[in-house]
Amino acid sequence: MGIGRALAERGYTTISANTRMHDIGNVEKYTLLGKRVRGWGYWGVTSEDARDIAAWVDFAQNLGFDRVVLAGHSAGWASVARYQADTRDPRIAGLVFASGCVGCGNNGEDQALRAQAKKLVDGDSGEGLITLSKRSSPSYVSAATYLDSIDTPKEYADFFGVRTENAAVTRVRRPILAFFGDKGDIATQEALNLLKTSIHRLKSGPSRVDTCMIQGGDHEYVGQEAQVAQTIAAWAATI
């Protein structure tokens, strides 16, 4: 049972665009001005995702929902975070970050990989995949996605202000819920503690920060969808 279905059983309507899952790619449309249009994390460009998110929020509003909770999983947390920091959309009631990166930055940039990606982008082949050879397992990303990621300003890359005083989270006033799975996810309770302490030391920021661990959950929360849905639903009911 998916998280969306589990939330629906608790009385919530969900809209899933699935634009930022980091490990799956798909073709959204085969032709647009003579080019393919690809979606999901292999080809997503975070700095441009605001247009997609705004469209989905508009869609939800047209269905009669005037308050929306934005949830970003894995690479999707950056899109959700950046959207609300930049727009301060009054329709957003809260933000959910599932398995995001705490204290990220662009240190250790691979100049050879940058050059490869830039060559593809400059040659109008930004959707071409490049290999991230320093990963523990075979990993690929489009040239355009890679350049957008490594050129992300520090205020967004270090969104929670671990090392950045003017982190983008200081422009967010809505409540935040953040969680990881305790079974092989990308981070642990220590990362959640760091997230909270970093935000609390900043001069401004969210009205409330809640964190938790999903018991038995891996990075995709396989088998724990109902627990994730209950966690989000219970939190949403309090905001």
3-105+152-237 sits in which CATH class?
alpha beta
Tell me, what's the pLDDT at 16? 47
Q: For the residues 209-214, what does the mean pLDDT come to?
A: 98
Cα-based distances in Å from 126 to 39, 111, 222: 13, 17, 32
pLDDT digits (tens, 9 = 90+) for 56-73: 999 999 999 999 999 999
- Is the per-residue pLDDT at 4 higher than 90? no
Q: For the residues 136-146, what does the mean pLDDT come to?
A: 81
* Per-residue confidence band for 20, with pLDDT thresholds at 50, 70 and 90: very low
Tell me, what's the pLDDT at 132? 82
Long-range contacts made by residues 21-30, C-beta under 8 angstroms, separation at least 24?
21/73, 21/74, 21/75, 21/76, 22/74, 22/75
- Is the per-residue pLDDT at 216 higher than 60? yes
Q: What are the structural domain ranges in the chain?
A: 3-105+152-237
Nearest to 57 by CA among 13, 15, 11: 15
- pTM, to two decimals: 0.83
